[in-house]
């Protein structure tokens, strides 16, 4: 079992600490995506230098290539990717569901064809958890069905109920060991009644943490926050809460204020590879011509390599030239920005000043 302690509160927001087999993680926390065993354009040492102490690996991609059994034989995912800190692995459900015409969903699980070579695979709750065990994940996620948005209430209800049956099977096959845990995933679309039923069922089953899934898929920030307002108060106070696939900096600030502890999203790394940088004064597109003669740093308050050693003019040149170094520097910057944002919110919660922090953040963007 993993440990979790709430160290301070500011209204609904929590400052906590998650204790895993590979070290402690201060929360609220943002987890960089190491989808295939690597954070794109970054070394593991570089990821750690941003402040990250937990990353997210992907069951679907790693089971297809290089294979969970191979990774296990080579010492597990931590050793394989040279990452000594914590790893959370998602169940593969979102990726499988996104295959659409390539997959078939049934009570047993999902049968799908690989996007790599068309080979046929079956992913059941038991197999998903077993793969995550082979990878050596500190935090395992239960397999769920990611309901599309929008969808009728009845369809969302059926999907949620299937996810709850899969959650019970996932929990039943999880192997308990010190420093490792399994999270259940609350589903139910944008319907508060279904979200509450889902949360109650997961609590009845009993998990080490609780994720809110099925959001950030087109419903908009106001709806996301409304779902959190309805759902988060129903989750146990002594367990970590994880909002999956979110999001922009403003999304993180709003969700932390609603009691969320953990986040992941492709945005900072993908944006870094497409010349987009997050700064304390808003988002910057380094491809814009106005940066071509700008000798100033990207963000004077940031201590990352991109800001400490290079000008906006040089970063603009790298991005316009398609140089790999541009992706490396901007990815490192974005991850450092996200890590700093979370650290600043942790400090604000400790001093009871998160509302002031949020107001200052909003005015700066």
Cα Rg of the chain (Å, integer): 20
Residue 12 included in any domain: yes
Do 152 and 96 share a domain, yes or no?
yes
Q: Catalytic residue numbers?
A: 90, 264
Do 65 and 174 share a domain, yes or no?
yes
Do 19 and 94 share a domain, yes or no?
yes
| Residues 233-249: tens digit of each pLDDT | 999 999 999 999 999 99
Residue 66 included in any domain: yes
Do 33 and 113 share a domain, yes or no?
yes
Tokens encoding 62: 């790693």
Do 125 and 207 share a domain, yes or no?
yes
CATH number at residue 7: 3.20.20.105
Percent of the chain with pLDDT over 90: 94
Q: Which of 62, 71, 4, 5 is nearest to 36 (CA)?
A: 62
Q: Mean per-residue pLDDT for 71-78?
A: 98
Name the domain count of the chain: 2
- Exposed/middle/buried for 49, CB within 10 Å: 0-12, 13-18, 19+? middle
The domain containing residue 280 runs over which residues? 272-332
pLDDT at 226: 98
Over 90: is that where the pLDDT of 128 sits? yes
| Residues 38-70: tens digit of each pLDDT | 999 999 999 999 999 999 999 999 999 999 999
Band (101; pLDDT cuts 50, 70, 90): low
**H helix or E strand, kind and range, residue 6:** strand 3-10
Q: Mean per-residue pLDDT for 140-146?
A: 95
Q: Mean per-residue pLDDT for 324-351?
A: 98
Instruction: Give exposure, 311-320, as e/b (b: 16+ Cβ within 10 Å).
Output: bbebbbbbbb
pLDDT at 147: 87
Do 30 and 124 share a domain, yes or no?
yes
């Amino acid at each position: 079992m993993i440990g979790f302690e709430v160290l301070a509160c500011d209204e609904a927001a929590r400052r906590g600490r998650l204790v895993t087999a590979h070290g402690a993680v201060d929360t609220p926390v943002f987890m960089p995506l190491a989808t295939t065993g690597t954070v794109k354009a970054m070394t593991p040492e570089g990821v750690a230098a941003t402040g990250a102490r937990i990353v997210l690996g992907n069951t679907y991609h790693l089971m297809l290539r290089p294979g969970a059994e191979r990774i296990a034989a080579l010492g597990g995912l931590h050793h394989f990717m040279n990452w000594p800190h914590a790893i959370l692995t998602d169940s593969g459900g979102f990726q499988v569901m996104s295959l659409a015409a390539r997959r078939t969903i049934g009570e047993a699980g999902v049968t799908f064809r690989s996007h790599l070579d068309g080979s046929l695979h079956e992913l059941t709750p038991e197999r998903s958890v077993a793969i995550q065990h082979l990878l050596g994940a500190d935090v395992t996620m239960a397999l769920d069905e990611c309901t599309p948005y929008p969808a009728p209430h009845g369809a969302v209800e059926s999907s949620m109920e299937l996810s709850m049956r899969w959650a019970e099977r996932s929990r039943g096959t999880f192997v308990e060991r010190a420093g490792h845990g399994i999270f259940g995933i609350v589903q139910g679309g944008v319907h508060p009644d279904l979200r509450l039923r889902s949360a109650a069922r997961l609590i009845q089953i009993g998990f080490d943490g609780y994720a809110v899934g099925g959001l950030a898929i087109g419903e908009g920030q106001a709806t996301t926050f409304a779902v959190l307002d309805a759902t988060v108060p129903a989750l146990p106070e002594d367990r970590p809460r994880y909002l999956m696939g979110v999001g922009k900096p403003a999304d993180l600030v709003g969700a932390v204020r609603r009691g969320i502890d953990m986040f992941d999203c492709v945005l900072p790394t993908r944006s870094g590879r497409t010349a987009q940088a997050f700064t304390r004064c808003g988002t910057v597109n380094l491809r814009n011509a106005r940066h071509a003669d700008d000798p100033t740093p990207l963000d004077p308050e940031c201590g990352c390599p991109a800001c400490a050693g290079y000008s906006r003019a040089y970063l603009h040149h790298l991005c316009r030239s398609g140089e790999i170094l541009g992706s490396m520097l901007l990815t490192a910057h974005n991850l450092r920005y996200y890590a700093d944002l979370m650290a600043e919110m942790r400090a604000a919660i400790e001093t009871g000043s998160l509302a002031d922090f949020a107001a200052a953040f909003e005015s700066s963007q």
